[in-house]
C-alpha cells in the first residue's frame, strides 16, 4: 500500500483575516482525500500561539481548545512541531508538506514561508518573495507597471506623514488622484480596512481606518468598473482559468459583501468577448510571473465601463478557499474539481521543493 502524504493544514494567525482563514481551512480539511492524505490540523491563535492535532477535529477552531501547544522548528535537521507544556517530550509532530491556508499579515506575507524554508519543509504556494510582493500592494503595482501591465493611478501615504502633515497629504491626494478614490492598507486582504471616498469629508476617516491596520496606505483612483477575477495554477509553466465576475451587493466588494451580507453574485464564466477573455488570461499569467509567484494565485482586474480598458487590481497568493470562494469555483468551471485542485496544489508544492534541492548553497572552487 502506498504511504499516505502527511499534510499539515496551517490556519488562523495574527491577522484581521483570522476568521476567514478558519472558514477556508474547514473546506480544505473536509475536501482532502483521506485515501491519499493524513491530515494534521495546525492552528495559530490570534495571539500567535501554535497548536497541532494529528487526530481529527470537528472544526478548525477546536484545535485551540483541545490540541497541544507546539513550537515550529526552523532547524532543518529536526523539522516539525515540538510539543510544549504538559506534552513536552512526547516527540515532534512531523509533516510531509504544509498547506498554508493563512490570509493576511504573518501568514500570506512571506513570514511563515521563510520559517518553512529554514526548516526545509515543502509547502503549497508562493515563496518568500512572491508572498511578500503579493501582500504589499505598492510594491506589487510597481512590478506590474515595470512589466508593462496596466494599473490605475495610485499614491502611497505613510501613517507618520498623515499624522504630521495632514494638510499636505490631503492636497497631494486631491491633486494626483481626485475623487472618488479608494483608501487601502497596503498589506492586508479580504477588503479589511478599505474605504471608498467620494469627497473631502470622507477622506480623513478613511485614512485613519487604513492607518490602524498598516503604516503604509494606498490611495488609488476609483473607476466605474466591473470586477473580473482569474485563477492561476502552476509553477514555472502557469495556466489561467476561465475568468469570473463579482457583482457586489454593496457599492464595492468589501468585507461585508464578501462574508456577511447576502446578495453578492459570482458570474462564472464572466460575460466577456472572446478577445477580452484571452486578454484577462494572458495578463493574469504575466502578473503571476512578474511577482515570482508559484502554486496558485487569484488575479483581480477592473474593467472600466466607460472606456472598456482592463486594469490589474491585485494578485492574491493565498486566495479564499471557502465553499463560496472564487478561486476554487473558477477551476471547477474550468474542469478541475475541488479535491483534484487540492491534489494539484500539493503536487506543485512537492515539485517546487524537489526543484529547490537542485540549488547549490555553498561555494566550492
Catalytically active residues, by annotation: 17, 190, 259, 298, 300, 314, 316, 320
Q: Is residue 269 reached through a cis peptide bond, with omega within 30 degrees of 0 on the bond before it? A: yes
- Beta-carbon-side half-sphere exposure of residue 363 (alpha carbons within 13 Å): 1
Question: Which DSSP state fits 292?
Answer: T
Helices within the chain (DSSP H only): 18-31, 63-66, 111-118, 128-135, 137-146, 159-164, 166-176, 200-211, 255, 274-290, 326-333, 338-356
Q: Using CA atoms, how far apart are residues 147 and 141, in angstroms rounded to an integer?
A: 10
d(CA 209, CA 341): 36
User: What's the helix, strand, coil split of the chain in %, to 5?
Assistant: 35, 25, 40
Please tell me the distance from the alpha carbon of residue 26 to that of residue 9, in angstroms, as a whole number: 10
The rounded distance, in Å, linking the Cα atoms of 327 and 297 is 8
User: Pick from 319, 189, 321: which is nearest to 254 by CA?
Assistant: 189
Are 365 and 307 a contacting pair, CB within 8 Å? no
**Is the separation of the CB atoms in 346 and 124 below 8 Å?**
yes
CA distance to 72, 79, 127, per residue, from 75 (Å): 9, 6, 18
Q: Partners of 154 in the beta sheet?
A: 220
Question: C-alpha 355: how far from its chain's center?
Answer: 23
Alpha-carbon distance 127 to 164, whole Å? 36
HSE, side-chain direction, 13 A CA sphere, residue 118: 10
Q: What does the chain come to in residues? A: 365
- If one counts every other C-beta atom within 10 angstroms of the C-beta of residue 322, the result is 21
Amino acid at each position: 500500500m502506498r504511504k499516505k502524504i502527511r499534510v499539515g493544514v496551517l490556519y488562523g494567525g495574527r491577522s484581521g483575516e483570522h476568521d476567514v482563514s478558519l472558514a477556508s481551512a474547514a473546506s480544505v480539511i473536509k475536501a482532502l482525500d483521506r485515501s491519499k492524505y493524513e491530515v494534521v490540523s495546525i492552528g495559530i491563535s490570534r495571539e500567535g500561539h501554535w497548536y497541532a492535532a494529528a487526530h481529527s477535529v470537528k472544526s478548525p477552531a477546536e484545535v485551540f481548545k483541545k490540541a497541544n501547544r507546539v513550537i515550529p522548528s526552523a532547524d532543518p535537521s529536526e523539522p516539525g512541531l515540538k510539543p510544549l507544556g504538559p506534552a513536552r517530550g512526547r516527540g515532534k509532530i512531523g509533516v510531509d508538506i504544509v498547506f498554508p491556508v493563512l490570509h493576511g499579515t504573518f501568514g500570506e506575507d512571506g513570514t511563515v514561508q521563510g520559517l518553512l524554508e529554514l526548516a526545509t519543509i515543502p509547502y503549497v504556494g508562493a515563496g518568500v518573495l512572491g508572498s511578500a510582493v503579493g501582500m504589499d500592494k505598492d510594491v506589487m503595482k510597481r512590478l506590474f507597471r515595470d512589466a508593462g501591465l496596466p494599473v490605475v493611478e495610485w499614491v502611497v501615504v505613510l501613517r507618520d506623514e498623515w499624522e504630521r502633515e495632514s494638510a499636505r497629504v490631503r492636497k497631494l491626494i486631491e491633486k494626483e488622484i481626485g475623487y472618488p478614490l479608494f483608501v487601502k492598507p497596503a498589506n492586508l486582504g479580504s477588503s479589511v480596512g478599505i474605504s471608498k471616498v467620494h469627497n473631502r469629508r470622507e477622506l480623513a476617516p478613511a485614512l485613519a481606518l487604513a492607518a490602524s491596520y498598516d503604516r503604509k496606505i494606498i490611495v488609488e483612483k476609483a473607476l466605474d468598473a466591473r470586477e473580473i477575477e482569474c485563477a492561476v495554477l502552476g509553477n514555472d509553466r502557469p495556466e489561467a482559468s476561465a475568468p469570473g465576475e463579482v457583482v457586489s451587493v454593496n457599492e464595492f466588494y468589501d468585507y461585508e459583501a464578501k462574508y456577511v451580507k447576502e446578495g453578492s453574485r459570482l458570474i462564472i464564466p464572466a460575460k466577456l468577448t472572446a478577445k477580452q477573455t484571452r486578454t484577462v488570461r494572458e495578463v493574469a499569467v504575466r502578473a503571476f510571473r512578474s511577482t515570482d509567484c508559484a502554486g496558485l494565485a487569484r488575479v483581480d482586474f477592473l474593467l472600466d465601463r466607460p472606456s472598456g480598458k482592463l486594469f490589474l487590481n491585485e494578485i492574491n497568493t493565498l486566495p479564499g478557499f471557502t465553499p463560496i470562494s472564487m478561486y476554487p469555483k473558477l477551476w471547477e468551471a474550468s474542469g478541475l474539481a475541488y479535491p483534484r485542485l487540492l491534489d494539484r496544489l500539493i503536487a506543485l508544492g512537492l515539485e517546487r521543493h524537489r526543484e529547490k534541492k537542485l540549488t547549490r548553497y555553498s561555494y566550492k572552487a
